[in-house]
Amino acid sequence: MRKPPEDEYLSGNLTAMIDVVFQLIIFFVVTNNLQAKSIDERINLAMAPHGDALKVKDPLTVNIDVDSKGHISIARYPFSVADLSRVLRKTVLDNKDVVVPVVIRGDADSHHAAIREVLNACGKAGIYKIKFAALKERGR
């Protein structure tokens, strides 16, 4: 039995593998960019230096933003309180076997009444796993 020359081992078409690598890179860049766009940087979070930092993020988490004027939004899409209640109820119905967590990102200058409306909408939808977002240090 004849051993093939070494050049045969080294030759091969790597075009398909290179295409797959580039597609993966593009996928990760696009999905990372989409998540960054969903967070509203205009929300000035309150400070909580002694609070526990979030270690594991649940992918089912609904992030609700309340700006300084009391406007409610999810992923920068504005909602009225009634619409928010409907969306949360539908989310709970679609995920019957799972507890739906909510994170409220309230602006430090927002009135408590706006936050309370979000809390009431969560309660009416049957959501009781609620957290408030805050900064541990300035700039983070």
Strand partners for 88: none
Would you say 85 and 125 are in contact if contact means Cβ atoms under 8 Å apart?
A: yes
Look at residues 107, 106, 98 and name the one whose alpha carbon lies nearest to residue 131: 106
Q: Calculate the CA 2 to chain-centre distance.
A: 59
Query: pTM for this structure?
Result: 0.67
Q: What is the pLDDT of residue 136?
A: 73
Instruction: Tell me what pLDDT residue 111 has.
Output: 87
Supply the angle between the helices 81-94 and 112-125 in degrees, to the nearest 10: 30
What does each of the 140 residues of the chain score in pLDDT, given as a tens digit? 666 665 555 666 777 888 888 898 888 887 776 665 666 667 767 777 777 776 777 778 888 999 888 899 988 889 999 999 999 999 999 888 888 889 998 888 888 899 999 999 999 999 988 988 887 776 54
**pLDDT score of 96:** 84
Beta-bridge partners for 138: none
Domains and CATH numbers, the chain: 6-38 (no CATH), 62-132 (3.30.420.270)
- pLDDT number for residue 138: 65
Q: Give the pLDDT confidence score for residue 119 in this predicted structure.
A: 93
Q: Please tell me the predicted confidence (pLDDT) of residue 35.
A: 60
